Amino acid sequence: MSEDLSAPATSVSSRDRATQARRWWTLSVLSLAQLMVLLDATIINIALPRAQIDLHFSSGNRQWIVTAYALSFGSLLLLGGRLSDLWGRRSALHVGLAGFALASALGGSAHSFATLVTARAIQGAFGALLAPAALAALSVTFREPKERAKAFAIYGVIGGSGAAIGLLLGGALTEWASWRWCLYINLFFAALAIVGVSVFVKGGRSEHHSRLDVLGTMLATEGLFCVVFGFSHAVTASWSSDVTWGSLVLGVALLVLFVLWQSHSKHPLLPLRIVTNRTRAGALISLLLTNMGIYALFLFLAYYLEETLGFSPMRAGLAFLPIVVAISLSASFASARLLARTGPRPLVTTGMLLSTMGMVLFTRLTLSSDYAGHVLPGLIVLGLGLGLIFSPAMASATAAVGNRDAGAASALVNTSQQIGGSIGTALLNTIAVTVTMRALTHAKGGGVAASRAANLHGFSVAFWWAAGFFGAGAIISLVMLESGSLAPEGDLLPAT
């Protein structure tokens, strides 16, 4: 009799272990897909000078290699998120990965500026389908609080350090191989991820048979395109440009119409119930402010390392490695263990304060500063802070979201990060350039020394602004986020 009772128990235990192992393999595959998308936001930056020489395009056009990716990625995220709900996350991941790989192959083999820009735009479009599908699959795979905290800690490491890894990998590939390998490398990532998705990721198709909101899609896509274009145009032109402000005003107007329409649509692209929760809204704002701030690091510190300290592209990429390590340690030893117990408020608020301190340390850089004594401490403090922000904020922004809305909620997370990056890049770059030009007009004498001093002054002011973004994030996260474990909500359907 005892044997009969023990057999089912053993069978159940074996199934539990197999299911648990499958979940962690799913996390590995999704992290790889997310890393590929994040790498391409920065990996091409270090390769641009070599690509410019190869393809003979002007410095004025160089920005479009980056902007083309940002425009299509940022404007199509909400559509990509909803398509992953309608098609199923596995199908969306397959399409996204295959399309991203083909676009990367096109860009790597490009022999003209137009082809490279087109390839980058196509990359962004498929990335907009891929990123929300990956995060949605993660959010519905891990529901138990402790496992969810660990999974999002690992995923948060990718989110926080993807840009730095991109700079490191871009420097290595450009220096040791060719700038083209900054695009070809995606073929290896995509091939591994496609196999992994086929084996480990469940379909997750919505059972509610909702249709695509065509008008909402048009309003959201065009609105986000105008907003991202406006901020990107401010970088290449100026804030006084009519095109800059015209794009921003039109974009905001279209997004307001989009929100109004969503409250009346039978099949909304972005169900407003997703954003009415205070903790979710606070998490999204925290991610937006964080991405506004960290672009100061990758935008200006890379210039400082190469132009002031004389680092090679490869050495500059390696210089960012400590922030990756710090993010990993912070996310794994704090976020993974504490989030399920403390909730997001104490972790995100502490992370914002640490990030503020890290940015303040960068404002103290001088022309005679060295890496170990002046740059490294800021990277470590900032990395520890970012590790406490990304994991809890992303987990909170997707908590208690049912299968039918997982893609839309995940798209909103990616949208807040993309818009934050666009705002941060445009605003901080404009501030740095304006301050630098003003310093040059008042500089006594000239030459390389005066130019470097003026540039450094511009960077310093931008770092202060970035510190202000993180400071505002600390206040908002303290007020809006919750302490304690996140309880399921009643307004969203549970996972099926």
The tokens for 66 are: 């980056």
209: left (phi over 0), alpha (psi -120 to 50) or beta: left
Residue 206's pLDDT is 54
* pLDDT of 195: 94
Give the H/E segment covering residue 197.
helix 181-200
Is 492's pLDDT higher than 60? no
Q: What is the pLDDT of residues 49-96, one digit of tens each?
A: 788 889 988 766 777 887 888 889 888 988 998 888 888 889 999 999
Helix/strand/coil percent split, the chain, to 5: 85, 0, 15
Tokens of 275: 């954003």
Domain limits of the chain? 20-212+269-480, 213-268
* DSSP for 130-168, written as a single string: HHHHHHHHHHHH--SHHHHHHHHHHHHHHHHHHHHHHHH
CB-based contacts of 253, cutoff 8 Å, min separation 6: 223
Which residue do the tokens 């304060």 mark? 353
Radius of gyration of the chain (CA): 23
Instruction: Please state, in angstroms and as integers, the Cα–Cα distance from residue 91 to each residue in 19, 152, 194, 315, following that order.
Output: 21, 23, 10, 40
235-271 pLDDT, tens digit per residue, is 777 788 899 999 999 999 999 999 999 888 888 888 8
Average pLDDT over residues 468-484: 92
- HEC secondary structure over 323-339: HHHHHHHHHHHHHHHHH
CATH architecture type of domain 20-212+269-480: Up-down Bundle (1.20)
Q: Is the pLDDT of residue 225 over 60?
A: yes
> Are 134 and 34 within 8 A, CB to CB?
yes
Closest CA to 276 of 255, 266, 262: 262
175 Cβ partners below 8 Å, 6+ apart? 312, 313, 314
**Mean pLDDT over each residue of the chain, to the nearest integer:** 84
On whether the CB atoms of residues 46 and 317 are closer than 8 A, the answer is yes
Q: What is the dihedral of CA 364, 367, 369, 370, to 10 degrees?
A: 140
pLDDT band at 44 (very low <50, low <70, confident <90, very high): confident
Instruction: Reduce the DSSP state of residue 51 to 3 states and report it.
Output: helix
pLDDT of residue 489: 42
Output phi, psi for 407, to 5 deg. Answer: -65, -45
pTM of the entire structure? Answer: 0.83
Q: What is the mean pLDDT of residues 314-341?
A: 84
**What span, in angstroms and rounded, lies between the C-alpha atoms of 100 and 128?**
10
Q: Using alpha carbons, select from 28, 129, 118, 31 the residue that is nearest to residue 75.
A: 129
Closest by CA position to 78, among listed 407, 420, 390: 407
Q: How confident is the model at residue 485 (pLDDT cuts 50, 70, 90)?
A: low
CA angle (44 as vertex; 49, 308 as ends), nearest 5: 55
Three-state secondary structure call for residue 116: helix
More confident residue, 348 or 338: 348
271 secondary structure, DSSP code: -
pLDDT in tens, 120-148: 999 999 999 998 999 888 888 887 777 87
Write phi, then psi, for 406 (nearest 5 degrees).
Answer: -60, -40
403-444: pLDDT as tens digits: 777 778 888 888 888 888 888 877 888 888 888 888 888 776
Give the DSSP per-residue string, 311-375: --HHHHHHHTHHHHHHHHHHIIIIIHHHHHHH-HHHHHHHHHHHHHHHHHHHTT--TT--IIIII
Asked whether the predicted pLDDT for residue 10 surpasses 80, the reply is no
pLDDT at 288: 93
The pLDDT of 163-177, averaged and rounded, is: 80
Nearest Cα residue to 342 out of 386, 395, 417, 382: 395
The burial class, CB within 10 Å (0-12 / 13-18 / 19+), for 101 is: buried
- CA dist., res. 421 & res. 410, Å (int): 17
Number of CB atoms found within 10 A of residue 485's CB? 16
Other beta carbons within 10 Å of 62 = 17
For residue 310, the tally of other CB atoms under 10 A from its CB is 9
pLDDT greater at residue 436 or residue 2:
436
Q: Do the Cβ atoms of 224 and 77 come closer than 8 Å?
A: yes
> What pLDDT is stored for residue 398 in this prediction?
83
Check residue 297 and give its pLDDT.
76
Distance of CA 22 to the CA centre of its chain: 26
Indicate if the alpha-carbon torsion angle 290, 404, 145, 19 is positive or negative. negative
Establish how many alpha carbons lie within 13 A of residue 454's alpha carbon, considering only the half-sphere containing its beta carbon.
19
* Contact of 201 with 93, CB cutoff 8 Å: yes
pLDDT of 470 higher than 80: yes
Residues near 264 by beta carbon (within 8 Å), at least 6 away in sequence: none
C-alpha atoms less than 13 angstroms from C-alpha of 21 in its C-beta half-sphere: 7
Inter-residue contact 102 to 222 (CB < 8 Å): no
